[in-house]
Amino acid sequence: MNTNNIKKRFPCGLDRREAIWQMGGGFAGIALAGMLEEAGFFRKHLGAAEPANRPIGPHFPVKARAVIHLMMNGAPSQVDTFDPKPELRKYAGKPLPSDKKYINSGGRKVGFLTPEFRPFRPGGKSGIPVSDYFPHVRSHADKLAIVRSCHTDSHAHGSALVAMNTGSVFIGKPSLGSWCVYGLGSASKNLPAYVVMMDKRGGPISGQPNYGSGYMPGQFQGTLFRPVGTPILNLKGADAPGIQRAQLDLLAKLNDFHIADRPGASDLAARAQSYELAYRMQAEAPEAVDLSKETQKTLDMYGVGREPTNDFGRNCLIARRLVERGVRFIQLYSGGGHLEDTWDAHTSIEKNHGLHGAEVDQPIAALLADLERQGLLDSTLVVWGGEFGRMPFSEGPGEPGRNHNPYGFTTWFAGAGVKGGTIYGATDEFGFQAVENKAHIHDLHATILHLLGFDHERLTYFHQGRDDRLTDVYGNVINGILA
């Protein structure tokens, strides 16, 4: 047997040449690993969050330092609020033309083209027509930039609400407020940067994913303020503040030891930060939501203390106070709980919009006026809208409601960086679908981020192997509404 060609192998199973080659690669890998660590590669790709006190920072000058999002849960009708269609009167009682294709959400009855239930009247110097469901808001028409050409990807409330809040019909994405806080950080050390106030009747169908932080750390999710009673429970401090402070300091040290051995443990880091924030909130949060220091004139302006405006008016006034104290993103819900308690007007537009319009119209107008009076409107962006719109036809003879419509609806903007007295885009002659300067929800989000100082294509968070963003791979800023 010739043994000259038999390789000499080490116990590991490699011959000498293979062992030297792999050892060389290992040394190079050690050096490369050190270089990548120094460059922050592993911290980024482990998904570790940016520290709360180190926001990403804006890409260009900020126009909006805060956002108030007025979410009309259940979807108001565009042709009955901010998008008048005289042709509906002309063709009333006739079917929608057959070339208008749509999905019949829920298999509802399909009736005939139905005109607006309350008249439209011009508002302000701009003469923008606004429905009698919003007579108080109409007086601020010159502040509004009304986008009449919105469209979305879902005709179901749950997924459409999630899409309007997160940019995706699928649960698990960070919400708009989370992106705002991730980018700009907090302007207040003693209050949450992102606050959500629900309707007293309940919240949106899909719940927490509408204001959650998704794959971002929990520190970026919205903080719920209760709609009735004390907005935040359990804020009363300990009888011995010094002992409480010592307890939190000890807990922080223990958590730091634990986190140091577990890079990327964002849930624990977020929980630790929530304890510290709760401690600081004990002093400032009760004062922020205490309306007893407001003048009676201000309370009357918002409709606080009387029905049907008390609850939404109270929330709008708290929103203004939170903006004053540095809260970045505030979302107010109108309508909640069961669908019949929302703007979901299947049975009767007049009954539904008459109720909810009366609840929110005066408070929203007061909010716009008060922000302007306090010198805050120029730095606060106010956004109004629902998850989609409603059909221009009724649900059948004697059934004056309207079904879901994702093909064309209205969202309006006011405040920071917005060109007031503006109408952008258009739906067709019936208000059925967007046909001019169409604006997808990605475009709405791109515009909001732009006013916050961000290029929506560059504000990203590394997740599952890619730099993810609010607008995914879509979205264009709606320059036609910018001042």
pLDDT of residue 188: 87
pLDDT of residue 12: 59
Count the neighbouring beta carbons within 10 Å of the beta carbon of residue 100. 15
Q: Average pLDDT, stretch 152-172?
A: 97
pLDDT of residue 269: 61
Q: Which of 343, 339, 361, 360 has its CA nearest to residue 352? A: 343
Q: Which of 202, 116, 204, 217 has its CA nearest to residue 165? A: 204
Q: Which of 473, 460, 474, 472 has its CA nearest to residue 183? A: 460
**DSSP, res 210:** G
Within 147-195, residue ranges assigned H as helices are 157-166, 176-184
Q: Average pLDDT, stretch 375-381?
A: 98
Amino acid code (one letter) for 316: C
Q: Average pLDDT, stretch 291-312?
A: 96
Does residue 20 or residue 36 have the better pLDDT? Answer: 20
- Torsion sign over Cα 50, 465, 40, 30: positive
Using 50, 70 and 90 to split pLDDT, how confident is the model at 50? very low
Using 50, 70 and 90 to split pLDDT, how confident is the model at 164? very high
Lowest mean pLDDT among 204-218, 262-276, 294-308: 262-276
pLDDT of residue 52: 43
pLDDT of residue 51: 44
Burial 19-30 (b: 16+ CB within 10 A, else e): eeeeeeeeeeee
Does residue 245 or residue 378 have the better pLDDT? Answer: 378
The whole-angstrom separation of Cα 443 and Cα 403 is 24
pLDDT of residue 26: 56
Q: Which of 418, 428, 412 has its CA nearest to residue 480? A: 418
Summarised one tens digit per residue, pLDDT across range 447-477 is 999 999 999 999 999 999 999 999 999 999 9
306 backbone dihedrals φ, ψ, rounded to 5°: -145, 160
Q: Average pLDDT, stretch 149-153?
A: 98
Q: What percent of the chain has pLDDT over 70?
A: 78
Preceding amide of 135 cis, omega within 30: no
Q: Is the pLDDT of residue 1 over 70?
A: no
- The first and second tokens of residue 481, run together, are 């509404």
pLDDT of residue 287: 83
Q: Is the pLDDT of residue 83 over 80?
A: yes
Determine the distance from the C-alpha atom of residue 451 to the mean position of all C-alpha atoms in its chain, rounded to a whole number.
14
Q: What percent of the chain has pLDDT over 90?
A: 70
Q: Average pLDDT, stretch 47-72?
A: 80
Mean pLDDT of the chain: 87
The whole-angstrom separation of Cα 225 and Cα 388 is 25
Q: Is the pLDDT of residue 123 over 70?
A: yes
Q: What is the largest CA-CA distance in the chain?
A: 108
Lowest mean pLDDT among 71-80, 289-298, 411-420: 289-298
pLDDT of residue 129: 98
SS3 state at 435: strand
pLDDT of residue 288: 86
pLDDT of residue 379: 98
